[in-house]
Structure 1
Amino acid sequence: MPAPTPPSDIADRIAALLDRHPVWDGHNDLAWEARGQVGYDWSALDIGAGTAGRTHTDIARLRAGGVGAQFWSVYVPSDLPGSAAVTATLEQIDAVRRMVETWPDAFALALAADDVEKAWASGRIASLMGAEGGQSVDSSLGTLRMLYDLGVRYMTLTHNHNTPWADSATDEPSRHGGLSEFGVEVVREMNRLGMLVDLSHVSAATMDAALDVTEAPVMFSHSSARAVCNVPRNVPDDVLARLGDNGGLCMVTFVPAFVNPDIGAWRAEAADAARERGIDPASYTAFSAFAEEWEAAHPIPPTSLDDVVAHIEHVRDVAGIDHVGLGGDYDGASGFAPGLEDVSGYPNLLAALVGRGWADADLAKLTSGNMLRVLRDAEGVAERLATERGPGTARFDRG
């Protein structure tokens, strides 16, 4: 069943709000989709002309969704070895930068909070980058610093697999039980640089360990609430409760398996079946192909926009209104709820929240106000730390 069309008065109210406070989304995998479909040839994946049916994202639909800032994920698989992961990440960064250069009337590269506001003033979509997984730096603080210099403004500490210094939510717990000593130094160096520490994908132990170390607000770029949908990728309430003191942000994702308990159970069953077949469910490429086959014989349960609303309101209730945002994960998942099928759907979500009594001031925090504050706060910490310590010198012991 399609999502209902908002009444004209609510639609007008949301349009006016988005004009002042556009959506700042935490995670979009268009660059990886471009790699798979066209080898990063933006002329063959013309998001200016429109790519409906091929991707969840193009310029017209970003405009329709009221998106004014996007963290473009520069994702690479977490089972890529060492330097291969670094090379693939550099290719992703290049792809995002070339996308911005190809459509300069639509996009503006943003390296700081001030750049985001300048992009809005010019009517363009602020484009930031986030590296999805510590595999992208191959256990090197020097590589981390170079990614920052190239424009990466957050790094997710892990993806689906553990790194040698941090535990993932979807891998076996390692001997360091969260963060190793080197992992602590990674967080400290990210604070010093002003690179946001992203705790999506990491284990609960890693979440707590990072919160114990960090001097800057953390973020969850695309995670939801474990109390509403009990899957490892979601955030437990005790961690959500810590965001108030930290100043951080949980950007609620729309991924069906992370918002709907029935689909979460379906995915867990598929993961068990994959293991029986000798397929690692943490391997994004291999498991995605298996899941398509599994779905043909085991239809996926339905999801709805209300599932996402439940997570947003739970995060608000536990962490506080200053600590909730949006992280759709478009072009990184499939089967999104009716009304949220692609990046044009954010107004439908806001309309549902209006129907539940949300005030414009709170909607403005959800769409972008909270993320703007978090980035500014991280920049402030980096400015202070620049006077207190130099670049980290820790080196990972490769044995």
Structure 2
Amino acid sequence: MWTCWWLWPLVAVCTADQFLDQAKRIMQTTPVIDGHNDLPWQLLLKFNNELRQKDANLTSLTGTHTNIPKLKAGFVGGQFWSAYTPCNTQNKDAVKRTMEQIDVIHRMCQMYPETFLCVTSSQGIRQAFREGKVASLIGVEGGHSIDSSLGVLRALYHLGMRYLTLTHSCNTPWADNWLVDTGDHDAQSGGLSDDFGKSVVREMNRLGVIIDLAHVSVATMKAALNQSQAPVIFSHSSAFALCEHRRNVPDDVLQLVKQTGSLVMVNFYNDYVACKREANLSQVADHLDHIKKVAGAGAVGFGGDFDGVTRLPVGLEDVSKYPNLVAELLRRQWTEAEVRGALADNLLRVFEAVEQASNHARDPEETPIEQNYLDSSCRTSYGYSAAPGLHLQPAALLASLTPLLLGPRLL
């Protein structure tokens, strides 16, 4: 027995190679659709979105988790690119900044047509798969990007947005973010506001925009899951039961995910995977296992958050490492159908359900948010009064009339 001890490491290596080979075989026909990648944000920070700079070339880009060779090595066939602008743009230039990030995603497709195909539908994703390209979709990360405007929501849809994250790490005037659950922010809407918040969800359903609940409070998660007429996604969140970080999804919400046919695309950020600075690929697989156990195999996807985080698990250092994670799932006896679901089929099912629930023949939502919910310091008030130049708010109206009323007495 002892004479063969040296064979065991060799057996282990061969077994690992077997699972990796199987993973790559599966991914050749079912590549991964990743729910969230912040490469456009890195292009802004590093190059101010000047894509023709020499160092911005995506075939040789360094210092990022993502470039074209890494995408190909990782069998990435679909990517929701994040059109992200920080919370400090709220009530300032959020819409402008968001449109610039949407523009840079479109220009990526124009500059590298052999690699990227910008698409806006599940059918478009399948076409990109057939052509061997990366189906490139736009996810807008943060409800502050619509500036509490249904008109802006519709305009972003026409520019290609196919999911909207209802909040980032700040409340909007109509939805609460995850920091409410930590006590760092005060609740303002109790989840979704009864009027405008719910009308945003209805309009997203009507248009066919996927509702994304990454970054929202638990109350917002539950309100949106109960309100939406179509499945929703968590584009880059993990399981709260394994790491008690408020960016993660608790089990009672996972039950709602199961009931609604929704999807949790697991985040790779160490702090959400292990609740500490260090993590490894096996711990990411634990999150996938847990979501599968609680919500079903159809509820699992990948949302790596590459180029949006600073710490990634050992074994998942960049987008080229996806086959390693798939091999780990196979080692854990996930079936080929379950693996294909996590890679792409689950997202395609959700996207198709969102498309089927849409109804562009139905009248759009029109009622604007009440003016008193908005920060008015940098805003005009057109449309909020029957008379040009008058504000709807009584206090503002009284202030504007006071000089007229008191003027004769002071002369």
The TM-score with structure 2 as length reference comes to: 0.84
Name whichever of 113-122 and 5-14 sits farther off. 5-14
Cα distance, 1:343 vs structure 2: 0.3
What secondary structure is seen at the aligned counterpart in 1 of 2:249? coil
Per the alignment, residue 50 of structure 1 pairs with 60
Letter in 2 for 1:346: Y
User: 2:41·2:84 contact (CA, 8 Å) conserved in 1?
Assistant: yes
Per the alignment, residue 185 of structure 1 pairs with 199
Out of 249, 252, 264, which is 1:238 matched to?
252
Out of 341, 344, 347, which is 2:323 matched to?
347
Letter in 1 for 2:59: A
Whole-Å separation in 1 of the counterparts to 2:186 and 2:343: 35
The one-character-per-residue Cα deviations of 1:2-32 (angstroms, maximum 9, x if unpaired) are xx89733222211110011100000000000
Q: What are the equivalent positions in structure 2 for 1:140-289 lying under 5 Å apart? A: 140-171=149-180, 172-180=185-193, 181-261=195-275, 263=276
Letter in 1 for 2:205: N
Whole-Å separation in 2 of the counterparts to 1:135 and 1:81: 6
User: 1:6·1:351 contact (CA, 8 Å) conserved in 2?
Assistant: no
What secondary structure is seen at the aligned counterpart in 1 of 2:211? strand
Out of 342, 353, 364, which is 1:391 matched to?
364
Cα distance, 1:176 vs structure 2: 1.9
Cα distance, 1:303 vs structure 2: 1.2
Cα distance, 1:83 vs structure 2: 4.7
Cα distance, 1:397 vs structure 2: 1.2
Out of 285, 308, 311, which is 2:287 matched to?
311
Whole-Å separation in 1 of the counterparts to 2:124 and 2:237: 26
Letter in 1 for 2:179: T
CA gap of 1:5–1:158, structure 2 versus 1, over 3 A, is farther
Whole-Å separation in 2 of the counterparts to 1:358 and 1:92: 37
What secondary structure is seen at the aligned counterpart in 2 of 1:155? strand
RMSD over equivalenced CA pairs, Å? 1.3
Per the alignment, residue 70 of structure 2 pairs with 61
Out of 351, 366, 369, which is 2:345 matched to?
369
Cα distance, 1:335 vs structure 2: 1.7
Cα distance, 1:245 vs structure 2: 1.9
Name whichever of 352-361 and 144-153 sits farther off. 352-361
CA gap of 1:70–1:170, structure 2 versus 1, over 3 A, is same
Q: Show structure 1 runs of 4+ deviating over 4 A.
A: none
User: 1:47·1:59 contact (CA, 8 Å) conserved in 2?
Assistant: no
Larger radius of gyration: 2
Whole-Å separation in 2 of the counterparts to 1:46 and 1:175: 41
Cα distance, 1:353 vs structure 2: 1.0
Cα distance, 1:304 vs structure 2: 0.9
Per the alignment, residue 326 of structure 1 pairs with 302
Cα distance, 1:173 vs structure 2: 3.4
What secondary structure is seen at the aligned counterpart in 2 of 1:82? coil
Whole-Å separation in 2 of the counterparts to 1:150 and 1:5: 48
Letter in 2 for 1:190: M
The one-character-per-residue Cα deviations of 1:264-303 (angstroms, maximum 9, x if unpaired) are xxxxxxxxxxxxxxxxxxxxxxxxxxxxxxxxxxxx4x21
The one-character-per-residue Cα deviations of 1:179-200 (angstroms, maximum 9, x if unpaired) are 0021000000000000000000
Whole-Å separation in 2 of the counterparts to 1:341 and 1:379: 34
User: 2:238·2:266 contact (CA, 8 Å) conserved in 1?
Assistant: yes
User: 2:168·2:177 contact (CA, 8 Å) conserved in 1?
Assistant: yes
User: 2:40·2:83 contact (CA, 8 Å) conserved in 1?
Assistant: yes
Whole-Å separation in 2 of the counterparts to 1:18 and 1:60: 16
Query: How many residues are treated as equivalent by the alignment?
Result: 354
Letter in 2 for 1:50: S
Whole-Å separation in 2 of the counterparts to 1:76 and 1:223: 19
Instruction: Compare relative contact order (CA 8 Å, sep 6+) and give the higher one, 1 or 2.
Output: 1
Structure 2 unaligned spans of 5+: 1-12, 373-411
Cα distance, 1:50 vs structure 2: 1.9
User: 1:5·1:348 contact (CA, 8 Å) conserved in 2?
Assistant: no
User: 1:79·1:161 contact (CA, 8 Å) conserved in 2?
Assistant: no
Cα distance, 1:306 vs structure 2: 1.4
Instruction: State the identity as a percent.
Output: 44
Whole-Å separation in 1 of the counterparts to 2:289 and 2:17: 24
Per the alignment, residue 97 of structure 2 pairs with 88
Cα distance, 1:175 vs structure 2: 3.2
Letter in 1 for 2:323: P
Q: What are the equivalent positions in structure 2 for 1:72-87 lying under 5 Å apart? A: 72-87=81-96
Cα distance, 1:258 vs structure 2: 0.5
Cα distance, 1:360 vs structure 2: 0.9
User: 1:260·1:307 contact (CA, 8 Å) conserved in 2?
Assistant: yes
Per the alignment, residue 405 of structure 2 pairs with none
The one-character-per-residue Cα deviations of 1:232-271 (angstroms, maximum 9, x if unpaired) are 100110111111221110000001110103x1xxxxxxxx
What secondary structure is seen at the aligned counterpart in 2 of 1:308? helix
CA gap of 1:31–1:5, structure 2 versus 1, over 3 A, is farther
Name whichever of 185-194 and 347-356 sits farther off. 347-356
What secondary structure is seen at the aligned counterpart in 1 of 2:237? coil
Per the alignment, residue 272 of structure 1 pairs with none
Letter in 2 for 1:203: S
